[in-house]
Structure 1
Amino acid sequence: MSLKIGDIITFERTFTVRDVELFTEVSCDEGEHHITPDEQGRLVIQGLLTATLPTKIGGDANVLARTMNFEFLRPVFTGDTIKCEVEIEEYEWQENKNRTSISTFFICTNQEGIEVLKGSFSGVIL
């Protein structure tokens, strides 16, 4: 993947009940709101499950994360489609360390265009 400053990489995903069940099993985050549906039959997605969207984009670029910052703005529910846009803010070859460093900012919005998560990550490209 060829990247440069200013690039915006997008990934979109619709979360299912099965996603929440699997993440609950792996994370042991068994908050009542993750296992008991609301009056509309939806479960609340774990925040860190929502945060897998920007980490998926970083993983596709072989980023070994050093820092990650998340600001959870609104709940995400099963059935929601979340779009994540990651913008490359810094991308620099470091000759003395023989590696490329990267810094990003991201925003995740639901199907109604409402921001649900924003933050940043930085690291090195493997």
Structure 2
Amino acid sequence: MTLTVGDVLKFERKFTNEDVALFTNLSGDEGNHHTHPDELGRVVVQGLLTATLPTKIGGDNNVLARTMNFEFLRPVFTGDTIVCEVTIDEFVEKKPNRMSISTSFSCTNQEEKLVLQGTFSGVIRLTTAG
């Protein structure tokens, strides 16, 4: 896939209690809101677990991240469906076989409420077949 300025890349995910439990074990982020379900059986998804949505899109495009900025606007609960949209703001050649990329992103829940927004930038090393 060839990226160009203005492209919007999307990824959607529904987080489960198991996802949060696995991330809790991996990260050590064991706040009660991540480990004790509310009256609806939901727990709060860790912010950095939610932030894996834009980083997944970056990874799909072989971005080596240099900066990442996250603004967490409201909680995400297990069972929520989150849609992440990453917009390519800048994509320029810096060196032969190396592109610089800057993006902005927004993540919304199933009620179309903004839960996370931010930016990330980095480089993509282009490989040549041969």
Q: TM-score, normalised by structure 1?
A: 0.97
Deviation at 1:51, TM superposition (A): 0.1
| Deviation sequence 1:30-82 (CA, Å, 0-9, x none) | 00000000111100000000000000000000000000000000000000000
Q: Which runs of 5+ in 1 are unaligned?
A: none
Deviation at 1:14, TM superposition (A): 0.3
| SS in structure 2 of the partner of residue 49 of structure 1 | helix
> What is the percent sequence identity of the aligned residues?
70
Distance 2:26 2:118 in 1: 24
Cross-structure match for 2:101? 102
| SS in structure 1 of the partner of residue 57 of structure 2 | helix
Distance 1:2 1:28 in 2: 38
Q: Counterparts in 2 of 1:1-126, with a 5 A limit? A: 1-95=1-95, 98-126=97-125
Distance 2:97 2:78 in 1: 43
| SS in structure 1 of the partner of residue 38 of structure 2 | coil
| Backbone CA RMSD of aligned residues | 0.9
Distance 1:2 1:55 in 2: 18
- Runs of 4+, deviation exceeding 6 Å: none
Deviation at 1:116, TM superposition (A): 0.1
> How many residue pairs get matched?
125
Deviation at 1:98, TM superposition (A): 4.5
| SS in structure 2 of the partner of residue 88 of structure 1 | strand
Q: Give the aligned residue type for 2:113.
A: I
Deviation at 1:99, TM superposition (A): 1.1
Q: TM-score, normalised by structure 2?
A: 0.94
